[in-house]
Chains A and B, each alone.
Chain A
Amino acid sequence: MGTYVTRRLILTLPVLAGILVITFLLTRLSGDPTDLMLPPNATDEARAAFRMVNGLDQPLWTQFIRFAGNALVGDFGASLRFGQSAMSLVLERLPATAELAAATMALALLFGIPAGVMAAVWRGTATDVSIRLVTLLGQAVPSFFLGVVGIIVFAVWLRWLPTGGRGSFGQLILPAATLAFNLVALIARVTRSCMLDVLKQDYVRTARAKGVWESKIIWFHALRNAFIPVLTVIGLQVGLLLGGVVVTETIFSWPGVGRLAIQAIYARDFPVVQAVVFVFATIFVAVNLIVDLLYAILDPRISYR
């Protein structure tokens, strides 16, 4: 297991290198940074001086090596808008995003798994049909629409919850629920189909033949097996979750990394955009590594050597 972790960590290095290349090229795609940083009426001398100071007169690969070297120690330069280090801006907002993501994942598991299990156990009944209808809706409705509807209904009409901001538990509910809805739907659908498959297996019949209670068979014997593919899907959906964070945080003025990213993009604040992309990509890689390690714990047939 230890050597497997080491090997997997080494394998993430090329991925991180790829991330660096893409983040670097992001700024170059929209043209010469000089045009962006200096006022349009700047003199040619000022432009040349700016290029020399920032190393922009060097070949592209030299520039990249300097960028990568700085990035590895977390230095993406100063934000054009705030003047502060881009990385520190991201890290300041990371706890808010982590809180939202954790609440979302908790909600998604809490509702998605039981819904999927119940739909499978009561296959073909009214319960199954209604769960499938709701999950279909959940996957079809985009979160920006759901968030706005949520604000209108729960914040404006009913006045139960605040429209946005962060601090109280009430302020967490709407954004987390909005973000979780798609995920609940997806987890419920995958859980349902995996449970239907597992409940047909011979070992479920063996458990029944032993006289094990039906509820224990469903929630323990069967779900332990069905959860393994569900975990794969969750790992893959973390990317979608991070994308959803950007939209949801903006709708609910949640002071997290996602909202920072949108603001930075609008302000063409490239150091901050680069830092956000780098941090999100690293989180995605890390989560998938954790998911792979969880497999080994959940499924003894997988051995990492």
Chain B
Amino acid sequence: MIIGGTKALDRLDEPATAQDDPVLQVEDLKAHLHFGAGVVRAVDGISFTIRKGETLCIVGESGCGKSMTALAIMGLLPKPAGRIVGGRAVLQGVGDLARLTTKRMREIRGRAVSMVFQEPMTSLNPVFRVGWQIEEAIRVHEKLSRAEARKRAIAMLDLVGIPSPEERYKAYPHQLSGGMRQRVMIAIALACRPKLMLADEPTTALDVTIQAQILRLLNRLKSETGASLLLITHDLGVVARMATRVCVMYAGVIVEHGDVGDIFATPLHPYTQGLLASIPASRGGGERRRLNTIPGIVPSLANLPTGCRFADRCPHAYERCRKEEPPLAEPRDSSNGNEAQKVRCWLYLDPQRAGEGTLWRNA
């Protein structure tokens, strides 16, 4: 499917960029929420890159800062509490999103980078027709006549797999199911052909069969449009299905980062291992066992402990873990050969302990 009118987008690419430049490069990004009582360090220095056509999954439990990461990139942190306090988020052909003016950021949003939210039921304006809502996303950024925009909007509805798009164009959100509304949200996000789409738990609110459809749709659209995808989820099944690379986030920082195959085959960080062990297994033979859980709760982001943020819940923590925060780095003993895999854990980084993590993991 070809969608016309990408002229306005081309302007964004004017500064010539090398083909292998990352679409998005985030470096030591810090986004804090300032309240009267204190500061919530929701995103506390995270770095990652997303290359063209790639899907990066950020995985973590509720309140680990994964949604705030996406909102910080979009310039949509909750006001007035939320602020980017450090680091960079460089979007290809645009520059550092953290330093753009409000006006410029508005021009970028929805055009070069767009976002799909978790709640399709409430994310569309109930008093406007869905077709109009897609059309608006186009007309905000491109000079098009109403008729042309309408044609594009109908083409977008068709692209995201909505049957009889001409009729659905006139529907109001409440006349569509949750899955259909999420398709409309995706149509809005892709209407201006962005380089990068952020999807914050796009399937969490949907039932399981619809989840699979939406994930398939995202994969198809990604290859058809060449957009990169930053997918935020707490569902490791979604990660396995969608991700090229994975960031595991815990309490505002990335604790492990690597290719999806490596993360699932050789999880290094005790938190990643705990997450993987918590997936309910349904093996044949009716074997029944208690579901694994990680004991304890996520520390408060307003009052973080010194040392490793996971130390209190970690079965392998020792003195150094409670005193000093480990950096995110390649393990000293990279005998498994996954150099791209980085971990924030002393078990792999402390010269005195190096290799221990591997030892007990293999035991």
- Chain A bound to chain B: yes
Q: Is A206 a contact partner of B188 (Cβ separation < 8 A)?
A: yes
Quick one: given A203-B122, A206-B188, A225-B127, are A213 and B106 in contact (CB under 8 Å)? Answer: yes
C-alpha gap A209/B76 in the complex (Å) = 8
Task: Indicate if B110 sits at the interface (CB-CB under 8 A).
Answer: yes
With CB as the reference atom, state the residue of chain A lying closest to B175: A300
Task: Indicate if A201 sits at the interface (CB-CB under 8 A).
Answer: yes
- A-side interface size class: 20 to 34
Segment 177-229 of A: residues with Cβ below 8 Å from B: 201-203, 205-214, 221, 224-225
Q: Which residues does chain B contribute within 8 Å of A305, judged by CB atoms?
A: none
Q: Which residues does chain A contribute within 8 Å of B189, judged by CB atoms?
A: 209
Task: Indicate if B157 sits at the interface (CB-CB under 8 A).
Answer: no
Quick one: given A301-B172, A301-B174, are A212 and B140 in contact (CB under 8 Å)? Answer: yes
Q: Is B125 a contact partner of A209 (Cβ separation < 8 A)?
A: no
C-alpha gap A209/B186 in the complex (Å) = 12
C-alpha gap A212/B128 in the complex (Å) = 15
Q: Is B123 a contact partner of A206 (Cβ separation < 8 A)?
A: yes
Task: Indicate if A57 sits at the interface (CB-CB under 8 A).
Answer: no
C-alpha gap A211/B172 in the complex (Å) = 21
Q: Is B119 a contact partner of A202 (Cβ separation < 8 A)?
A: yes
Quick one: given A209-B74, A211-B109, A213-B106, are A203 and B126 in contact (CB under 8 Å)? Answer: yes
C-alpha gap A209/B113 in the complex (Å) = 9
Task: Indicate if A35 sits at the interface (CB-CB under 8 A).
Answer: no
Q: Which residues does chain A contribute within 8 Å of B188, judged by CB atoms?
A: 206, 210
Q: Which residues does chain B contribute within 8 Å of A206, judged by CB atoms?
A: 117, 123-125, 185, 188
Q: Is B107 a contact partner of A211 (Cβ separation < 8 A)?
A: yes
C-alpha gap A299/B174 in the complex (Å) = 11
With CB as the reference atom, state the residue of chain B lying closest to A221: B125
Q: Mark B146-186, 1 if CB is under 8 A from A, else 0.
A: 00000000000000000000000000101000000000010
C-alpha gap A201/B121 in the complex (Å) = 11
Q: Which residues does chain A contribute within 8 Å of B137, judged by CB atoms?
A: 210-211
C-alpha gap A224/B37 in the complex (Å) = 35
C-alpha gap A252/B221 in the complex (Å) = 69
Task: Indicate if B342 sits at the interface (CB-CB under 8 A).
Answer: no
Neighbour of A300 across the interface among B106, B108, B174, B185, CB < 8 A: B174
Q: How far is the CB of B309 from chain A (nearest CB, A)?
A: 28
Q: Which residues does chain B contribute within 8 Å of A207, judged by CB atoms?
A: 125
Q: Is A300 a contact partner of B172 (Cβ separation < 8 A)?
A: yes
Task: Indicate if B114 sits at the interface (CB-CB under 8 A).
Answer: yes
Task: Indicate if B141 sits at the interface (CB-CB under 8 A).
Answer: yes
Q: Is A210 a contact partner of B109 (Cβ separation < 8 A)?
A: yes
Neighbour of B111 across the interface among A201, A203, A211, CB < 8 A: A211
Task: Indicate if B136 sits at the interface (CB-CB under 8 A).
Answer: yes
C-alpha gap A35/B17 in the complex (Å) = 100
Task: Indicate if B115 sits at the interface (CB-CB under 8 A).
Answer: yes
Q: Is B123 a contact partner of A202 (Cβ separation < 8 A)?
A: yes
Q: Mark B213-257, 1 if CB is under 8 A from A, else 0.
A: 000000000000000000000000000000000000000000000
- Other than the given A202-B122, A209-B110, A210-B136, 6 more pairs (CB < 8 A) read A203-B122, A203-B124, A203-B125, A211-B106, A225-B126, A300-B127
Please list 6 pairs of residues, one from A and one from B, whose beta carbons are closer than 8 Å in the complex, sorted by A's number: A206-B185, A209-B117, A209-B189, A211-B108, A212-B140, A301-B174
- Top 5 closest pairs, chain A to chain B, by CB: A211-B110, A211-B109, A210-B110, A202-B122, A203-B125
